[in-house]
Structure 1
Amino acid sequence: MSSRRLTLCADDFAQSPAISQGILDLLQAGRLSATSVMTQSPHWPGMAAPLSELQQQADIGLHFNLTHDFANGPQLIKPLSHWLLLSQLRQLPYQALLDSLLRQIDLFSQHLGRLPDFIDGHQHVHALPVVRDALFAAIALRWPAGQRPYLRAPDHLGHPGDSRLKAVVLQAVCRGFAQAASQHGLVCNRWFAGLYALQAEAGFATLMQQWLQACPDGGLMMCHPGLPADDASDPIAAARAVEYGYLGSTVFADACRAAGIELGKFSN
């Protein structure tokens, strides 16, 4: 069986110490090949140094945030429903979004010493109408000529996970993102997976095996691992612990080998 490259990205780095340490463990073990950072977090300055030691083996990107309140200063934070509705009505504040993107990019660069390899979004907000326009503008302002990050394209979802309704909604609200990115000279993934209910009882191991079998060469998959933690502020803490245990196991390594999957950085 010929091997296929998969970029397996852990979202939410720096959201909490438990999430961040879990991701660091899995990166060090070679069970992830990318992670995206929530740079507004008060934990980010302290977590940047250990993450920087792993940047040769993994892509490190910005997890653009508009919905998680870190309560540590002015932030453009609203519930996801706010962004979903007003983005479809094209009534979002473009300049405020651009300013937030630039601040979060600058916080990444300030503590890691370079620009992100890629940009995705917490709850996929980066791909919503109007938000995406601000994203393209921020990239043009911050990246030198000839250099660009790659972008996560949720509209290229290739597997619905355990929720076809959730998949339909995601593709609908992000429709046209990949095409718009391409028109701005930006590269996106051609296949995307990792969407599911984010519940501990969802059967993550079974879903992962399905995703590995379906993944084409060059696919991108998100995941949300973290160390077990009693964190009332994190509604998916139990699912994170399940993911962490599975991704660190020999069962996952065996599943990758059986499917002919090799984890690696994103490649155009």
Structure 2
Amino acid sequence: MTKRLTLCADDFAQSDAISAGILELLTAGRLSATSVMSQAPCWASHASDLKAFDGKADIGLHFNLSHPFGDQARPLSHWLMKSQLRQLSRPTLRDAAAMQIDLFCQHYGRLPDFIDGHQHVHALPVVRDALFEAIAQRWQDQALPYLRSPDRLGHPGDNRLKALVLRSVSTGFDDGARELGFSTTPWFGGMYSLTPQADFAGLMQQWLARSPDRGLIMCHPGHLAVDKDDPIASTRDKEFRFLASQAFADLCGQYGVELARFDKAVPTTPLAA
């Protein structure tokens, strides 16, 4: 039995090397979505490259608060602590989200198909409410984007503590989003330590086996490059080489996986936690 899977490469436009790798995988049919860091200096030059995949892959916004693309960027630890203490300014965050949505539209020519978050910041308390408000401002008569739900994480990868923290800080995101009329991803995978030593191929096999129909797996491929602002550069090359390989294609066949765009028209039934 075939099951549809949205395989999404995060961080498009973070750098030229990352973007080039993602474009190659999209061309080869080894991805069905990618999310864009619209603040990135190279987004303007790479947006036209993504237009070739309009309607063939989901093109979304990778909402960012932690990667250093501006004065507002802060480490993830800042957002984790301040969000739990409810010490963040919702209007300021709403404006940041609206700005990134506008930058996406400015160079791509339309609104994104979906929204997720760099290091999952979109699902944090206060941040999520600000994002919902920004979307309400920008999506007037258009169908709402679908949202990635980190609290629907279905596999801990190789780091159970990291998975536990993510589920904890994003608790209630999926329910809140669906109450507002958003389509959300019912099952989420792809979280792991993001180290070169990690068994990405083995983990991918587990994710493909465990994913239900309409699940979403994130990945972080890219070409190898020296980048002081990218602590997972070497991991990206490892992911790229595996996703481009026949071994990955064989795994998809083994588990009946068809890489596909996420279908917002199909009602989402949340899985048991």
TM range (shorter): over 0.9
Amino acid at match of 1:69: P
Q: 1:137 aligns with which of 115, 120, 133?
A: 133
CA separation in 2, counterparts of 1:63 and 1:52?
17
User: What is aligned with 1:167?
Assistant: 163
User: What is aligned with 2:21?
Assistant: 22
String of CA shifts for 1:167-187, please: whole Å, max 9, x gaps: 000000000000010111111
Q: How many percent of aligned residue pairs carry the same amino acid?
A: 61
CA separation in 1, counterparts of 2:25 and 2:140?
32
Q: 1:57 deviation in Å? A: 1.1
Q: 2:105 aligns with which of 109, 120, 141?
A: 109
SS at match of 2:4: strand
User: What is aligned with 1:213?
Assistant: 209
CA separation in 2, counterparts of 1:249 and 1:57?
21
User: What is aligned with 1:252?
Assistant: 248
Q: Which runs of 5+ in 1 are unaligned?
A: none
Q: 1:80 deviation in Å? A: 0.5
User: What is aligned with 2:11?
Assistant: 12
CA separation in 1, counterparts of 2:214 and 2:231?
31
Alignment of 1:116-155 (within 5 A): 116-145=112-141, 147-155=143-151
Query: What is the root-mean-square deviation of aligned Cα atoms in Å?
Result: 0.8
User: What is aligned with 1:57?
Assistant: 56
Amino acid at match of 1:129: P
Q: 1:47 deviation in Å? A: 0.3
Q: TM-score, normalised by structure 1?
A: 0.97
SS at match of 2:53: coil
User: What is aligned with 2:189?
Assistant: 193
Amino acid at match of 2:227: D
SS at match of 2:258: strand
String of CA shifts for 1:6-49, please: whole Å, max 9, x gaps: 00000000000000000000000000000000000000000000
Q: 1:231 deviation in Å? A: 1.8
User: What is aligned with 1:66?
Assistant: 65
String of CA shifts for 1:112-142, please: whole Å, max 9, x gaps: 0000000000000000000000111111100
User: What is aligned with 2:267?
Assistant: none
Amino acid at match of 2:89: P
CA separation in 2, counterparts of 1:10 and 1:163?
20
User: What is aligned with 2:198?
Assistant: 202
CA separation in 2, counterparts of 1:110 and 1:7?
26
User: What is aligned with 1:226?
Assistant: 222
User: What is aligned with 1:33?
Assistant: 32
Amino acid at match of 2:18: I
Q: 1:62 deviation in Å? A: 0.3
Amino acid at match of 2:132: F
Structure 1 runs (4+) greater than 4 angstroms displaced: none
CA separation in 2, counterparts of 1:167 and 1:205?
19
**How many residue pairs align between the two structures?**
264
Q: TM-score, normalised by structure 2?
A: 0.95
SS at match of 2:73: coil
Q: 1:146 deviation in Å? A: 5.1
CA separation in 1, counterparts of 2:175 and 2:218?
21
CA separation in 2, counterparts of 1:145 and 1:171?
32
CA separation in 2, counterparts of 1:76 and 1:187?
29
SS at match of 1:53: helix
Amino acid at match of 1:148: L
CA separation in 1, counterparts of 2:222 and 2:191?
17
User: What is aligned with 1:261?
Assistant: 257
String of CA shifts for 1:169-206, please: whole Å, max 9, x gaps: 00000000000101111111000000000011101000
